[in-house]
A and B are shown apart, each in its own frame.
Chain A
Amino acid sequence: MKPAGPLLAAIALTAAVTGAGTLAARAGTVIDDWSDIKAPQPPALQSVTVDPKTTALLVLDFTHQICNEKNKPRCVASLPAMKNLLAGARDNHVMVVFSTAGNMTAKDIWADVAPAPGEPMVNSHANKFQGTDLEKILKDKGIKSVIVTGVNANGAVLYTASEAAFLGFKVIDPIDCSSAENEYIEQYVVYNFAHAPLVSSMVTLTTADMIKF
């Protein structure tokens, strides 16, 4: 054994003990580990060039009831980036689909990011595919990729993007165009799209100005 041997053995032993510690902690729950948990490193963002013919922009739930200074200032702060992205999509004839939730209608959406006449709308809770024609609306137009934006990051964005991935769509997430009530939520959702089973293989994380049409 080379001189490094004992050191490696010590590391292996430490790893085994640490592993046992994990097992012992497992007898409890994540609640017991709560204060010791650290966020992993942030994922890398990537530039994306989209094909306007096969890509749709989903603009989810930017209604005054959900997106406002009182409850979600981070959503209001995301509107300028969202407006730019929407303008870029329309300039390049990219299909845009809007959504609302509950009893909200198109009239409740912020004017900067509101649907134009003829642009499709769906209404559903967090997963916008559930109980709507969204899948058909997209597939009828030959859409293969969706750019998912909106609020809440841990509601409409998380569940609609995940479902899109399960349905076979590639997902582009400009992370500056989705928001939640706090940064903890936004951080996790970004991590989730980079690491969650299956979903992560379908999602590209980017920002509005890194998307080229």
Chain B
Amino acid sequence: MNREKWLLAIALATTVGLGTSQLHAASIIDEWASVKAPPPPPVKEVTVDPKTTALVMADFVQPICSRYPRCMASLPVAKKVLDAARAAKVLVVYTSIPKVPISAVVADVAPNGDAPFVQSFTDKFLNTDLEKILKDHGITTLLMTGVSSNGAIIETSSEATLRGFNVAVVLDATSAATTYAEQFVAWQLVNGPVISPHITLTTSDKLKF
């Protein structure tokens, strides 16, 4: 190889090297169209211990759920899980956002009697008694259902693990505005740093009470 070719090779290698860092410097927006999703994560069977598990019904309230067709479509599944949890005497906790009361929960999955209820934005532990309510009942595992996957579900599930709880997310009873958001959240919950060792993905059919 002559000198010119060597120089060209070095220049090319340098350009490629620079190109990579510049791509990042220019931001992910430039790579947007070529991004591929990783393979789907495993969905596992979960056997619920009624003494130490709580079912969280996250934000199944009319003003939120009715905005998301996928939430409305998840209600039959959520009702099935709720009925099974009640039959097994599992603690059921309802959540909503500030200013939207428990009476706004959609009728299909409405609370019985005096179900614990907390109101907060997407992280339901923030400025609520949720951690105390759960610990007072001896709860160590949360079963998450509700809306939105990239709101209450990801934030509350993640925060729960940081507070020492294990979490099982019932995929077919959770929803978001887009399947893209649901996809990432499913992936993140079992791959994200710190949180993933404590989270399992499941479905209503794989739950045993």
Contact = CB atoms under 8 A, between A and B. Distances in A.
A160 to B, nearest CB: 12
Contact of B24 (A31, A179, A197): A179
A155 interface: yes
A28 B170 CA distance: 11
Interface in B132-174: 148, 150-152, 155, 158-159, 162, 171-172
A40 B194 contact: no
Contacts of B69: 19, 22-23
Interface stretch (A88-96, A113-121, A139-147, A187-195): A187-195
Contacts of A39: 32, 35, 180
A26 B149 CA distance: 14
A130 interface: yes
Contacts of B155: 159, 162
A184 B38 contact: yes
A30 B25 CA distance: 33
A77 B126 CA distance: 34
B194 A155 contact: yes
A166 B152 CA distance: 12
Interface residues of B, number: 57
B193 A154 contact: yes
A197 B151 contact: yes
Interface string A111-154: 00000000000000111001000000000000000000000101
A74 interface: yes
Contact of B20 (A19, A27, A77, A190): A77
B188 interface: yes
Interface string B89-118: 000000000000000000000000000000
B36 interface: yes
B122 A31 contact: no
Nearest to A61: B193
Interface string B172-209: 10010111111110111000111100000101000000
Contacts of B84: none
B181 A192 contact: yes
Contacts of B130: none
Interface in B25-46: 25-29, 31-32, 34-41, 43
A187 B188 CA distance: 13
B53 interface: no
Contact of A166 (B25, B122, B179, B182): B122
A34 B79 CA distance: 25
Contacts of B158: 126-127, 159
Interface of B: 20-21, 24-29, 31-32, 34-41, 43, 69-70, 73-74, 77, 120-123, 126, 148, 150-152, 155, 158-159, 162, 171-172, 175, 177-184, 186-188, 192-195, 201, 203
